[in-house]
């Protein structure tokens, strides 16, 4: 789903549009690019993968990941809140059992299976349901510069590729709307060939320890995250909730696509309802039902997400950022920014929230 869609634009003059100035002729392409909302969110947010390591476990073994209550500092040195974290793991060899908080039954995993867990979710990974986990993942992490951790009693081997993802604070709310708390991708599911190829490349990169492996592994982990979400969308269409359910709704999804395609348009509830082909009242009610906020709250918050991204670019003036997200004056933009973000643009930048 993370793709660029295209819309045909027909011009009676064969693709040429005369601008207001009589001396300027603009050649417009026959095809106009439109960003779908999922692509727009991934382009706007900043994702950092860290802590990747390969766990070589031998039976009996069991590890637990509890809810984090303290801030962690990843190898990059960027201090992040535990609310910014998600965990991922891929079983590349062997078999084990996964128990996830809120999921009633343990899940058997085999080679090629992959799962992602959103922030604040406890889970247990073990060789057998009879094994009681005695340590956390952090306690058996790789040491001495290695990215391979060894744990267990010397029995049947299992290899797990583990890691975490952090999301820039500016992107946290769209992520929480986008992500289910738990994504499981089984090796035998359709639409997962690219995902498995990335998994294999990540496992290989982590095994070789070649120059630049850490950078390559981080990039592959980011790709893995997006591919897992795409596979989740493709494999469970009937179980979408929240933002995903909204974006696949024929009418609300059309309005969301319009917002993400043209965030600087002066949207109103009436114009969004017309885009969706619904009455104003029916559109507003359906939008609130699916997303938990009003249409204009969504528009404003997404404008501020885009604005935070633009503010991190040193060459952007405040008025240019304001106009890029639909405000004619920097004063009106700053007022809206402070209402949503809790700080005006200058304060926001002084606190060090620029993109790295």
pLDDT single digits (tens) 99-109:
999 889 999 99
Please name the residues in contact with 105: beta carbons below 8 A apart, sequence gap of 6 or more.
none
What does the pLDDT read at residue 332? 95
HEC profile of 270-295: HHHHHHHCCCHHHHHHHHHHHHCCCH
Please name the residues in contact with 38: beta carbons below 8 A apart, sequence gap of 6 or more.
1, 2, 178, 229, 247
Range from 48-57, 73-82, 158-167, 214-223 carrying the lowest mean pLDDT: 73-82
Average pLDDT, the chain: 77
- Residues forming a β-bridge with 162: 53, 89
| pTM of the shown model | 0.64
Residues in the chain: 356
How far, rounded to the nearest angstrom, does the alpha carbon of residue 222 sit from its chain's CA centroid?
Answer: 9
Range from 22-31, 117-126, 279-288 carrying the lowest mean pLDDT: 22-31
Q: Tell me the domains of the chain and their CATH numbers.
A: 4-42 (no CATH), 49-237 (2.60.120.10), 245-350 (1.10.10.60)
What does the pLDDT read at residue 227? 81
Q: In angstroms, rounded to a whole number, what is the distance separating the alpha carbons of residues 225 and 42?
A: 11
Q: In angstroms, rounded to a whole number, what is the distance separating the alpha carbons of residues 111 and 284?
A: 46
Residue 57 has φ and ψ, to the nearest 5°, of -110, 145
pLDDT at 258 over 90: yes
pLDDT at 288 over 90: yes
Distances (CA, A) of 253 to 7, 87, 354: 16, 29, 31
pLDDT at 320 over 60: yes
pLDDT band at 171 (very low <50, low <70, confident <90, very high): low
């Amino acid at each position: 789903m993370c793709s660029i869609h295209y819309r045909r634009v027909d011009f009676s003059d064969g693709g040429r549009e005369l601008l207001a100035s009589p001396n300027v002729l603009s050649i417009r392409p026959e095809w106009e690019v439109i960003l779908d909302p999922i692509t727009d969110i991934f382009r706007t947010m900043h994702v950092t993968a860290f802590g990747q390591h390969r766990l070589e476990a031998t039976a009996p073994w069991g590890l637990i990941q509890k809810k984090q209550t303290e801030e962690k500092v990843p190898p990059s040195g960027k201090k992040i809140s535990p609310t910014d974290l998600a965990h991922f793991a891929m079983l590349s060899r062997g078999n084990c059992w996964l128990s996830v908080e809120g999921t009633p039954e343990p899940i058997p995993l085999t080679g090629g299976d992959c799962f992602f867990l959103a922030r604040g979710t406890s889970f247990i990974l073990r060789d057998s349901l009879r094994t009681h986990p005695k340590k956390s993942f952090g306690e058996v992490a790789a040491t001495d510069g290695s990215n391979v951790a060894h744990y267990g009693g010397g029995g049947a081997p299992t290899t797990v590729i583990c890691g975490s993802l952090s999301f820039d604070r500016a992107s946290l709310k769209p992520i929480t709307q986008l992500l289910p708390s738990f994504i499981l991708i089984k090796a035998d599911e359709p639409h997962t060939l690219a995902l498995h190829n990335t998994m294999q490349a990540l496992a290989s990169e982590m095994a070789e320890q070649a120059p630049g492996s850490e950078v390559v592994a981080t990039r592959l982990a980011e790709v893995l995250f997006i591919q897992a979400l795409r596979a989740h969308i493709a494999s469970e269409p009937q179980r979408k909730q929240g933002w995903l359910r909204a974006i696949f709704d024929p009418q609300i999804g059309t309005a969301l696509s319009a917002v993400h395609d043209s965030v600087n348009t002066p949207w109103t509830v009436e114009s969004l309802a017309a885009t969706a082909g619904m009455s104003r009242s029916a559109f507003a009610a359906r939008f609130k039902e699916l997303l938990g906020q009003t249409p204009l709250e969504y528009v404003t918050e997404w404008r501020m997400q885009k604005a935070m991204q633009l503010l991190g670019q040193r060459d952007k003036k405040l008025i240019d950022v304001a106009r890029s997200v639909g405000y004619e004056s920097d004063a009106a933009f700053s007022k809206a920014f402070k209402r949503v973000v809790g700080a005006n643009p200058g304060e926001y930048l002084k606190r060090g929230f620029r993109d790295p």
